[in-house]
Structure 1
Amino acid sequence: MCEDWESVQLGELVERSFSGPSPTCEERNIQSEHEWGVLKTTSVTWSGWNEMAHKVLPENHWDQGELEVKAGDIIVTKAGPRHRVGVVAYVDKTIPQLIVSGKMIGLRVKSDICLPDVLAGLLSTRAPQKHLDHRTTGMAESQVNFANSALLQTSIRIPPKEEQEVISSIGRHLDTQIQKTEALISKLEKVKEGLLNDLLTRGIDEKGQLRPSPEQAPELYKESPLGLIPKEWQYGQLKDFGQLISGQHIPGELSNRDGRGVPYFTGPADFYSGETVISSYTEFPQAMCSMGDLLVTVKGSGCGKTAIASTDACISRQLMAFVFTEAEKGFWRAFFSLHENMINKIAEGGAIPGISRQQLLHIPVACPKAEHEFIAISKTIAEHERRRSSEARQLKKLTKQKSGLMDDLLTGRVRVTPLLDQAQATTPA
């Protein structure tokens, strides 16, 4: 199969390869036309290239044009945890004055022989990845590396140039669809933040519409310690509107992962996309939440993160559970989502900051009095979330389709020669 594909070493396909320094840097992006930056390994992912994952270089490392990344280059990670070594990204565009670090290799491709985006895809297939994995060494799996020569000696089977052109065109078309979907999801996320702010400060009137702003209709609002709130709303503290359940410590030896006992939520590690996943169990349950309760992280670096309990479960002292009526749940979930940063900031402590029960209970809030307004707000949020979730599913589907199709094309399991034959047949003599 694919007798017309040529087998060569990677080194024969590149004009030059280059690795840079890894100095101590400020943890910020470059901010002027004079500064230079060095790429982090997180700029190179299987999801694509991210030029903003960089940090500013010390001035004595500026002006290293021979290490600067250009559009059309390929970058391969060569040092780090094993699962992050050998990751390949094609640089379709980039800001100027970014250089590769010592943990990666930049490749400038002989594009007259092989198209860079196609070569990046070929390097991502199983055989080249297996070659690199076998030549990756280290004292521990958390810190391994391979030599530049190991990469350049990788055997690559490349299709004829005209076939590369078609594969590249297909890849660009799929990338365009993925980028459009990503842009729409990003837009929906920004819209959601504004929507939540409007719903939690203006609410929904008896006609089912977002109330006009205080500037547009001041007569619809009243003064409160939080500022202007709708006249139909009430002001108080969180303790006035729901019940709080504090989690309790269970020693590690009293929990298990084999299903013995009741589900046990240990912390934000059990949160996934706003819901909970069960990873632990205990036969010695103490503080219990119920399915549907709102869980909030109150210890650790991620205080304020929330999720809805997927089942009745025991909760650790990293968590607290809020119990609201079913009609109110969507409102309060939105409240915590919008104020996550505020809650995180009031956390106190050193290496393991935390929020006390009293701190949470005394957070000032304004909310509707009428159940029908709680329901209307929850419904509006849910409709927006369904749209975002639908686009997220579409993005996952497109990404999976691209991965499968490109792997078929780049390994020769599916040939594009019928497309080439059809194009040649329709080209005027």
Structure 2
Amino acid sequence: MSGNDKRPLVPLLRFSEFRNARGWSFQPLRTLAERSTRKNTDCELTRVLTNSAEYGVVDQRDFFDKDIANQGKLEGYYIVEKGAYVYNPRISATAPVGPISNNRIGTGLMSPLYTVFKFNNSRNDFYAHYFKSTHWYQYMRQSSSTGARHDRMSIANDDFMGLPLPVSSPEEQQKIADCLSSLDELITAETQKLNGLKMHKMSLMQQLFPREGETVPRLRFPEFRDAGEWKEVAFSTQVELISGLHLAPDEYSDTGEVPYFTGPSDYANDLSLVGKWAVRSTNTGCAGDILITVKGSGVGELLYLELEEVAMGRQLMAVRPRSAHGGFVFHFLATQRQRLVALASGNLIPGLSRGDILGLTMSVPERDEQQAIAECLSSLDNLAAAQSLKIDALKTHKKGLMQQLFPVLDAVQA
């Protein structure tokens, strides 16, 4: 190869039937697509869409549970046809340069803050997948700046339409799209299985615990059907409650003696996932305790603690079972989530007091029935956890494939 020759542009991974095909090229978006700038001047449309980093193009009312846009001022909104793509300049952890998504749900309206475009070729699923990769981030960062609010990218229309996109034969692009779409379908199917497990567990909990005012559950294991009524007791007689303690930033770090949890985002039973550590204190939870979030948006979220010891911030408390079976207490608290959220919502910042928790009333059967219920529901938790890991593995596999199936612009070397 002479010094003037360039290595063909190809992805790291290529399907066998295309390994001897010509190399790829990069072309600016403006040669492959056109901006859509038609506005709702006659106010014919009222359906407002939004482009979510996590869910793509969705109906605004469904996403926010209300209309965010002013229904009387929609004449300046862009009309977005089904099949068009939308760029949302708002940045987030999951979309660090803003998401680009394909509108698959139908014609609607988008804020003029968004950029809307349509590909010239209707077979463009390849690019829907490409925009889920990170390959185009570098160009966006080099061509734009964050807005005054530091949560939006600011990029001129000409620069955006200059975004370089990979181009190969239609057959190869469609092969890649089909491959990634099949993975999406598999992930969707496995996610539906996970949701089914969660719904099954929720239904079982509603039947394995008595309704309010009743003394026996609607569903009982055969060996306990003649065991008599459950006893109603004060929750405070069954557990001990340990409050968390606030630590100043200089009192914890990325190393230390015990994990330090400040909220549900820290919940983990794997030391390798722990990000904050502190010295030992009296305000700690231990293995077998149930951690409960008592302040903030995650009020009522639970963790059955398996780690030996965990220091807790003031947003958490540890419920330590005494008379009742630990797993039974955990699942009982899960049935009380809505009640706890309602109790917490009366405050400016959602919060539960010690009295809110200790003031609960619970019905308890004999110890062996408590254990049977706990083991049944925990087995479903284990199945759901395994299913979640399977989904995570599929997502990781897809992410790795995208990194290899799409060429990188600066991979061409002289």
Cα deviation for residue 146 of structure 1 reads: 2.1
Cα deviation for residue 343 of structure 1 reads: 0.6
Listed as ranges, the matches of 1:318-357 within 5 Å are 318-324=315-321, 328-347=325-344, 350-357=347-354
Over 3 Å counting, the alpha-carbon distance change for 1:291 and 1:359 in structure 2 is: same
Cα deviation for residue 162 of structure 1 reads: 1.8
Aligned length: 374
Listed as ranges, the matches of 1:5-404 within 5 Å are 5-18=24-37, 35-39=46-50, 41=51, 43-45=52-54, 49-51=57-59, 52-53=62-63, 56=67, 57-62=69-74, 67-81=78-92, 83-91=95-103, 93-97=104-108, 99-111=109-121, 115-138=123-146, 139=148, 141-201=150-210, 202=217, 205=220, 207=222, 231-253=228-250, 255-272=251-268, 278-283=274-279, 285-309=281-305, 310-324=307-321, 328-347=325-344, 350-368=347-365, 370-404=366-400
- The structure showing larger relative contact order (alpha-carbon pairs under 8 Å, at least 6 residues apart) is 2
Over 3 Å counting, the alpha-carbon distance change for 1:169 and 1:246 in structure 2 is: closer
SS at match of 1:53: helix
Cα deviation for residue 125 of structure 1 reads: 4.4
SS at match of 2:231: strand
Over 3 Å counting, the alpha-carbon distance change for 1:165 and 1:232 in structure 2 is: same
Q: Given that residues 327 and 375 in structure 1 are in contact (C-alpha distance below 8 angstroms), is that contact kept between their aligned partners in structure 2?
A: no
Cα deviation for residue 144 of structure 1 reads: 3.4
Partner amino acid for 1:7? F
Q: TM-score, normalised by structure 2?
A: 0.78
Q: State the alpha-carbon separation in 1 of the partners of residues 220 and 270 from structure 2.
A: 28
Cα deviation for residue 50 of structure 1 reads: 4.4
Over 3 Å counting, the alpha-carbon distance change for 1:165 and 1:135 in structure 2 is: same
Q: Which deviates further from its counterpart, 333-342 or 306-315?
A: 306-315
Q: TM-score, normalised by structure 1?
A: 0.76
- Tell me which residue corresponds to 2:16: none
Q: State the alpha-carbon separation in 2 of the partners of residues 94 and 320 from structure 1.
A: 44
Over 3 Å counting, the alpha-carbon distance change for 1:20 and 1:150 in structure 2 is: farther
- Tell me which residue corresponds to 2:4: none
Q: Given that residues 253 and 277 in structure 2 are in contact (C-alpha distance below 8 angstroms), is that contact kept between their aligned partners in structure 1?
A: yes
Q: Which deviates further from its counterpart, 354-363 or 100-109?
A: 100-109
Measured against aligned partners, the alpha-carbon deviations of 1:136-156 in whole angstroms (never above 9, x if no partner) come to 213575443323322210112
SS at match of 1:156: strand
Q: State the alpha-carbon separation in 1 of the partners of residues 280 and 248 from structure 2.
A: 10
Which consecutive residues of structure 2, in runs of 5 or more, have no partner in the other structure?
1-7, 11-21, 211-216, 410-414
Over 3 Å counting, the alpha-carbon distance change for 1:155 and 1:412 in structure 2 is: closer
Identity of aligned residues (%): 22
Measured against aligned partners, the alpha-carbon deviations of 1:87-120 in whole angstroms (never above 9, x if no partner) come to 23233x31553x22244322211116xx321123
Measured against aligned partners, the alpha-carbon deviations of 1:229-270 in whole angstroms (never above 9, x if no partner) come to x833110111121122222344444x2214234433323332
Measured against aligned partners, the alpha-carbon deviations of 1:366-386 in whole angstroms (never above 9, x if no partner) come to 121x22111111111122222
Q: State the alpha-carbon separation in 2 of the partners of residues 329 and 95 from structure 1.
A: 50
Over 3 Å counting, the alpha-carbon distance change for 1:18 and 1:174 in structure 2 is: farther
Which consecutive residues of structure 1, in runs of 5 or more, have no partner in the other structure?
22-32, 212-219, 221-229, 414-429
Over 3 Å counting, the alpha-carbon distance change for 1:183 and 1:274 in structure 2 is: farther
Cα deviation for residue 304 of structure 1 reads: 1.4
Q: Given that residues 7 and 158 in structure 1 are in contact (C-alpha distance below 8 angstroms), is that contact kept between their aligned partners in structure 2?
A: yes
Q: Given that residues 348 and 354 in structure 1 are in contact (C-alpha distance below 8 angstroms), is that contact kept between their aligned partners in structure 2?
A: yes
Partner amino acid for 2:204? L
Q: Given that residues 39 and 75 in structure 2 are in contact (C-alpha distance below 8 angstroms), is that contact kept between their aligned partners in structure 1?
A: no
Partner amino acid for 1:79? R
Cα deviation for residue 14 of structure 1 reads: 1.1
- Tell me which residue corresponds to 2:213: none
Cα deviation for residue 272 of structure 1 reads: 4.6
Q: State the alpha-carbon separation in 1 of the partners of residues 330 and 301 from structure 2.
A: 10
Cα RMSD of the aligned pairs, angstroms, is 3.4
Q: State the alpha-carbon separation in 1 of the partners of residues 33 and 241 from structure 2.
A: 62
Q: Given that residues 4 and 160 in structure 1 are in contact (C-alpha distance below 8 angstroms), is that contact kept between their aligned partners in structure 2?
A: no
Q: Given that residues 203 and 373 in structure 1 are in contact (C-alpha distance below 8 angstroms), is that contact kept between their aligned partners in structure 2?
A: no
SS at match of 1:289: strand
Measured against aligned partners, the alpha-carbon deviations of 1:321-367 in whole angstroms (never above 9, x if no partner) come to 11115972222211222221211211266433322212211111112
Partner amino acid for 1:5? W
Over 3 Å counting, the alpha-carbon distance change for 1:300 and 1:36 in structure 2 is: same
Q: Which deviates further from its counterpart, 2-11 or 173-182?
A: 2-11
Partner amino acid for 2:90? A
